[in-house]
């Protein structure tokens, strides 16, 4: 019997499936399914259109975090949450990062408030993930079955464990259009890597292969394409008798190399200032990549005979 102390609003947002799993009804762009036996919650992003962090998806993620916190903070021992896994339902893409269409509109109208609201919502989402949604004993895992760029990579790096399939590429292309990754990249990379690696990953504009990132200590595990979900289950199985030790070490790691919410807010305020004054050349670059994304995901058609450079090439 589940606890009756859960808030009524939370009770209306989950369904118990026949197989014993729990489905949280967040939105059409974000689903969360909890498997009680391995104690894994799979959070799956399926954004409509370009697979990036739109304001709507960010709001869904913030609400999902609150729902998960409310539900599991009242859980009894036998249905507690052990692992929260971030995944994508978009083939070959984890997340492409910021909402370029929205950025361009806000820059054109010099709407600093809108940019600030977007940025702070993104920080709230990433920080809640970094602190494991205010739940004790939870390990967060980013499962990259597709490419993660910009804010998508920042979101992944806020997790305790990052697993990538071998075909995946990740990077921060922001410097190519005279911006910088301002929503956690520098903070979270600095917890994981040397200063030299942080500089290379954030300042080169390159997309790095999964194997390169593993060698640099940026991510934790690389597996063959198609093996990501099994790798998560194997990780949980290996740690079954060591779960409390690993959870304690995760907590100690956050104590020794903390990332504070205020730090993230201060950095993203610099990002907003840089964005609102982005030079025309940078805006043109962003507009070109946004157009490529629209074409790549079937949102606009190419004219007959058009030659389109792939997003990966345009992004560095």
Kindly report, residue by residue over 226-259, the tens digit of the pLDDT.
999 999 999 999 999 898 899 889 999 999 999 9
Q: Out of 230-234, 240-244, 279-283, 293-297, which region has the weakest mean confidence (pLDDT)?
A: 240-244
pLDDT for position 74:
75
User: Torsion angle of alpha carbons 77, 88, 126, 203, nearest 10°?
Assistant: 140
What's the mean pLDDT in 112-122?
98
Whether the predicted pLDDT of 3 surpasses 60: no
Domain covering 8-314, topology: 2-enoyl-CoA Hydratase; Chain A, domain 1 (3.90.226)
Query: Worst-scoring range by mean pLDDT, 24-28, 62-66, 163-167, 179-183?
Result: 24-28
pLDDT at residue 268 in the model: 97
pLDDT average, residue stretch 62-73: 93
* pLDDT score, position 243: 84
Residues 6+ apart with CB under 8 A from 170: 144, 147, 148, 149, 153, 156, 164, 207, 208, 210, 213, 218, 219
Residue with tokens 């702070």: 120
Segment 250-277 mean pLDDT: 96
Tell me if the pTM is above 0.85.
yes
Q: In the structure, what pLDDT confidence band is assigned to residue 79 with cuts at 50, 70 and 90?
A: low
pLDDT > 70: percent of the chain: 89
**Cβ-Cβ contacts under 8 Å for 267 (sequence gap 6 or more):** 182, 183, 184, 186, 187
Domain limits of the chain?
A: 8-314
Lowest mean pLDDT among 74-78, 159-163, 302-306: 302-306
**What's the pLDDT band for 7 if we cut at 50, 70, 90?**
very low
Q: What is the pLDDT of residue 14?
A: 79
Answer yes or no: is pLDDT of 297 > 50: yes
């Amino acid at each position: 019997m589940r606890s009756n102390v859960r808030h009524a609003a939370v009770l209306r947002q989950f369904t118990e499936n026949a197989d014993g799993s729990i489905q949280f009804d967040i939105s059409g762009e974000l689903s969360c399914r909890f498997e009680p036996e391995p104690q894994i919650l799979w959070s799956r992003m399926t954004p409509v259109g370009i697979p990036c962090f739109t304001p709507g998806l960010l709001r869904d993620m913030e609400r999902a975090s609150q729902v998960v916190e409310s539900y599991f903070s009242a859980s009894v021992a036998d249905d507690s949450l052990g692992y929260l896994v971030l995944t994508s339902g978009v083939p070959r893409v984890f997340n492409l990062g910021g909402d370029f269409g929205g950025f361009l509109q806000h820059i054109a109208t010099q709407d600093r408030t809108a940019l600030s609201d977007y940025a702070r919502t993104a920080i709230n989402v990433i920080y809640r993930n970094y602190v494991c949604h205010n739940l004790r004993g939870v390990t967060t895992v980013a499962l990259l079955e597709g490419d993660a760029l910009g804010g998508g990579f920042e979101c992944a790096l806020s997790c305790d464990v990052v697993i990538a399939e071998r075909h995946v590429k990740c990077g921060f292309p922001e410097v190519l259009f005279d911006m910088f990754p301002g929503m956690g990249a520098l903070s979270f990379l600095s917890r994981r890597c040397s200063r030299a690696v942080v500089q290379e990953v954030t300042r080169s504009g390159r997309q790095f292969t999964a194997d390169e990132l593993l060698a640099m200590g940026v991510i934790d595990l690389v597996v063959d394409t198609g093996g990501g979900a099994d790798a998560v289950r194997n990780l949980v199985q290996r740690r079954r008798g060591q779960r409390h030790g690993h959870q304690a070490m995760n907590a100690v790691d956050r104590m020794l190399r903390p990332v504070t919410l205020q730090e993230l807010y201060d950095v993203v305020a610099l990002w907003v200032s840089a964005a609102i004054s982005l030079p025309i050349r940078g805006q043109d670059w962003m507009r070109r990549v946004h157009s490529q994304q629209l074409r790549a995901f079937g949102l606009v058609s190419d004219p007959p005979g058009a030659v389109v450079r792939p997003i990966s090439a345009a992004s560095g």
